[in-house]
A = this chain, B = another copy of it.
Amino acid sequence: MTVTVDVVLFTIRERKLHLLLVKRAVKPFEGRYALPGGFVGEDESLDAAAIRKLREETGVERVYLEQLYTFGDPKRDPRGRVITVAYYALAPTDPSDGTWFPVTDLPPLAFDHRKVADYAHQRLRNKLDWTNVGFELLPAKFTLSELQMVHEAILGEELDKRNFRRKIIQRGIVKPTKEWQETGRKPAQLYRFK
């Protein structure tokens, strides 16, 4: 019985939620896109394996990472019994190798990776209401419009600007800096996560 980790790495590109896929070079599913992942080392924690695989396959170093679910259907891998511990991760910018796809338009995936990806997307949506997970997709300093855009990309719907700003401010989870971002139009104040 073997154990793997697979990671659903999200980022925002062009105001849309994307995830990273790698093209498989070997059988099974050779040539298909798959989630980055692979076998867990004999003396390696699951978290460490997920971090290592992200680094090896995508070059990404420091991201928010959280265990998602463990998929163990006996038939999920044609090579035999492979149980995978799925993670999801959030990358602030776009630093990586590999290929990004909008979550609304994924190619066919290897194994049960489509199910894993959908599960991760759902979890991300749910977490957004309760936590500060949105900040993980932004650089250290960001404008409130950027933060709103992240939320809209994850939820897939538009939000009211005034209500959004009030909620964020009243939660006390950001603090304004004294810097302003040149936007080409009216400058926007930069905020920092508290």
Contacts and interface: CB of A to CB of B under 8 A. Distances in A.
Interface stretch (A6-14, A40-48, A158-166): A40-48
A42 B83 CA distance: 11
Contacts of A42: 1, 74, 81
A73 interface: yes
Contacts of A70: 46, 67, 70, 85
Interface residues of A, number: 18
Interface string A30-57: 0000000000101111100000000000
Copies in the complex: 2
A44 B74 contact: yes
A117 B83 CA distance: 23
B67 A85 contact: no
A175 B117 CA distance: 37
A139 interface: no
Contacts of A81: 42-43
A183 interface: no
Given A46-B83, A83-B46, A1 B72 contact: no
A165 to B, nearest CB: 26
Contacts of A40: 1, 72, 83
